[in-house]
Structure 1
Amino acid sequence: MPAVAATQALFTPLKVGDITVPNRTQIAAMTRNRSIKTVPSDLMAEYYAQRARGGAGLIVTEGILITRQGTEWEAAPGIWNAEQVAGWKKVTDAIHANGSFVYAQLWHLGRVSHPDAPQQKLAGVPVYAPSAISARGGKFRFLPSHPGYVTPTALEDPTFIIEQFKQAAINAKEAGFDGVELHGANGYLISQFLDSNSNLRTDKWGGSVENRARFPLEVLKALVSVFGNNVAIKLSPAGGYNDMGMPLEETLETFRYLLTETSKLPLAYVTLMRYSPYLDAEYDGKKRAIVHDILESYRSYITNPNTKVYLNAGLQGDEAAKLIEEGKIDGGAFATTALLHPDFAKRFKYGKPLTNVPNYPLMQIGAGEDPEKWDVGFTDYPEAEYDASEI
């Protein structure tokens, strides 16, 4: 049976970098917190394999730490050593064996690490950021008294982190990934360089829009040197999460400049996150996000015809298909929908409802849960029932 009319536009092939994905659904990166001492687990391989079997066109991994950092997600995975690369190879092999493709999302936390976290202590380095400005909020549940963020150490020269991103890309290629996505969203290091509230530098890495965009662009160039056309970036111009957000005019100027410059690079795609109330933090009685129309504000600045555009945050299948038909996006990126429904793409295609109920307590596990039970809220969501006449 062909795709139902409401979502049919999602189910045509799409050239993404050097690969052609079978449809225009993307699983967006979403922290899952199931690695074993930063090494991807066999359970993670099954999670991603389930979603490949469920028809996802392109899978983007959860954020992968490029170096030891004190993340509030204690079981987040890394990609800085051989054991981690071997773990990721199991994941990429499982995805490819089930007919999908996968990008690694490369992640540096910047100021939203904690110096008392075990991994940060093992790293033996401070918590680095563009400037010595603490983010408001945060909650390190596995540390005594559940502390929030602390004032980071300002980077004297950030070029060594560019090299860490490059090495992470080399490792990702060894692990069998089809490409890499730079995590430029949600208040992590790339966002911190872009935002004038977290970046008060007066050298070539801060101040003007051009200088604040320099670090993200140099990281992208380093990734391109490894992966060629198979590099992407995810951005969240509306801000909010992790204490991000500039005045509207400055936000528009910054992200329009960045996208103009990224259009000069051979990027496979850009994922734009639109405003999400879920990610809009409140500080001092005020919401932090800068609410504006993300597609209207930035789509026209992505001018490289080979760079595809995915939209993310609260997207529905029929809405994504309509935006594709209108030429406003090339694909839809789905997070919670894909987390709860391993076959979300097939459900979209054949008109099956999204019926799985979220297991909120165990969806993104905290400290103390038994790893033997990590499948709960992770790989135990059922697929819909299909009969042969439907597919």
Structure 2
Amino acid sequence: MPSLFTPLQLGSITIPNRLGMSALTRNRASSLGTVPTELMKQYYEQRAIGGAGLIVSEGTLITRQGGEFVYVPGLWNKSQVAGWKKITDAVHAAGSKIYAQLWHLGRTAHPDTPEQIASGEPVYAPSALAARGGRFDFLPGNPKYVTPTEIQDPAVLIAQFKTAAINAKEAGFDGVELHGANGYLVHQFLDSGSNKRTDKWGSSVENRARFCLEVLRALIEVFGPDVSLKISPAAGYNDVGMELQESLDTFGYLLKEVNKLGLSYVALVRYTLFLDPEFDGKRRATEHDVLKSYGPSLTDTPIFVNASVTPAEAEELVSSGKVAGVFIGMGWISHPDLAKRIQAGRTLDNVVDWKTVYEGGSDPAVGYVDYESAVY
């Protein structure tokens, strides 16, 4: 696959190939404190050795207020920075590059989670509207999402993103990816169903896009050209999703403005059933071709696509010039040497054990760093 395995300039760095590893929630950090562990270092190092051109970290919380799961890493204190530094050093030594995905869950957090309680803050969101769904299995009674508190001044959240970026730079990351997908905080500001504000942060397309754009500008102040954005215009996950024309108008405007910022890339998540749950017997998302719909807005920004991309399709997309690169997620879970396998024409035959994808049970190494590899 000659096109897929050619170097690519992204911002100030060059990645060795066009096959990236997308952010994957794996829940292996320490408990209260959310510090990256030695086991996490082994996990990322394996995949760097396995040939990932660019690794994007699992969703990494920018603040103690904003958590949904246990064992999720953060980037708001020095212990976390030190833990991530070991990981970025190992990834670089293996010849790969790594971005930190900066994440705030907004209304999909729960007030009874340990980190939320420790924060002393309520669950914040653009508007006081609860998302349907949710399943907090680790809390008594398995509660669902609650009605959040409307954040009075979103600039407070923008400052938290910037602080996390400063910490990411200290931790040795090559750049940052803003998580603007899957119904989390940034997506909640963009979506008219979750954002009912009437101030400068809501109502019109321009106002709903403001938060995302202002966060990106804050991140650029820290990382310059090494800032990226991930969005999922065709996803219904976490109870977001607009009608087709409103989706086209909203994300079309956003990406035309993003294109002016000089980002290293934009990752477009394609429609997938996995990110489109049913509510009251109806799918939430509006299925449409995100590359065809929004690619023309990104004339000066490298595009990556994500979601159910096969190796053959990845080569075609890159060789045709439709995208600069691709991100694969699930394939990297069960194939730590995914890129090396694809390059060598080896079979992708390791099966994901869904029982150990998240947290991993009594032994967190199982289903995490013990998948078979031909590389090491």
Q: Which bracket does the TM-score occupy, shorter chain normalised?
A: over 0.9
In 1, Cα distance between the equivalents of 2:328 and 2:282? Answer: 28
Q: Secondary structure at the match of 1:147?
A: coil
Runs of 4+ displaced beyond 4 Å: none
Match of 1:374 in 2: 364
Kindly indicate whether the alpha-carbon contact (under 8 Å) linking 1:274 and 1:294 is maintained by their aligned counterparts in 2. Answer: yes
Q: What does 1:339-358 align with in structure 2 at a 5 Å threshold? A: 339-358=333-352
Match of 1:383 in 2: 373
Q: Deviations over 1:150-178 (max 9, x none)?
A: 00000111101100000000000000000
1:85 pairs, out of 67, 81, 97, with: 81
2:235 pairs, out of 224, 227, 239, with: 239
In 1, Cα distance between the equivalents of 2:190 and 2:270? Answer: 17
The answer to which of 356-365 and 26-35 deviates more is 356-365
The CA deviation at 1:289 is 1.2
Residue 95 (structure 1) aligned with residue 85 (structure 2)? no
Unaligned ranges ≥5, structure 1: 1-6, 387-391
1:161 pairs, out of 157, 162, 165, with: 157
Residue 8 (structure 1) aligned with residue 15 (structure 2)? no
Letter paired with 2:20: Q
Residue 47 (structure 1) aligned with residue 37 (structure 2)? no
The CA deviation at 1:9 is 1.3
Q: Secondary structure at the match of 1:10?
A: coil
Q: Deviations over 1:54-91 (max 9, x none)?
A: 01100000000000135332111001000000000011
Q: What does 1:256-275 align with in structure 2 at a 5 Å threshold? A: 256-275=252-271
Kindly indicate whether the alpha-carbon contact (under 8 Å) linking 2:50 and 2:375 is maintained by their aligned counterparts in 1. Answer: no
- Relative to structure 1, the CA distance from residue 25 to residue 385 in structure 2 (aligned partners, 3 Å threshold; closer, same or farther) is closer
* TM-score of the two chains, using structure 1 as the length reference: 0.94
Letter paired with 1:327: G
Residue 362 (structure 1) aligned with residue 352 (structure 2)? no
Percent identical pairs in the alignment equals: 59
2:281 pairs, out of 285, 298, 302, with: 285
Kindly indicate whether the alpha-carbon contact (under 8 Å) linking 1:352 and 1:384 is maintained by their aligned counterparts in 2. Answer: no
Kindly indicate whether the alpha-carbon contact (under 8 Å) linking 2:66 and 2:106 is maintained by their aligned counterparts in 1. Answer: no
* TM-score of the two chains, using structure 2 as the length reference: 0.98
Q: What does 1:25-174 align with in structure 2 at a 5 Å threshold? A: 25-37=19-31, 38-69=34-65, 71-174=67-170
In 1, Cα distance between the equivalents of 2:158 and 2:121? Answer: 16
Q: What does 1:170-185 align with in structure 2 at a 5 Å threshold? A: 170-185=166-181
The CA deviation at 1:384 is 3.2
Letter paired with 1:18: S
The CA deviation at 1:8 is 2.3
Kindly indicate whether the alpha-carbon contact (under 8 Å) linking 2:232 and 2:270 is maintained by their aligned counterparts in 1. Answer: yes
Q: Deviations over 1:238-259 (max 9, x none)?
A: 0211111001000000001000
CA RMSD of aligned residues (A): 1.1
In 2, Cα distance between the equivalents of 1:109 and 1:261? Answer: 24
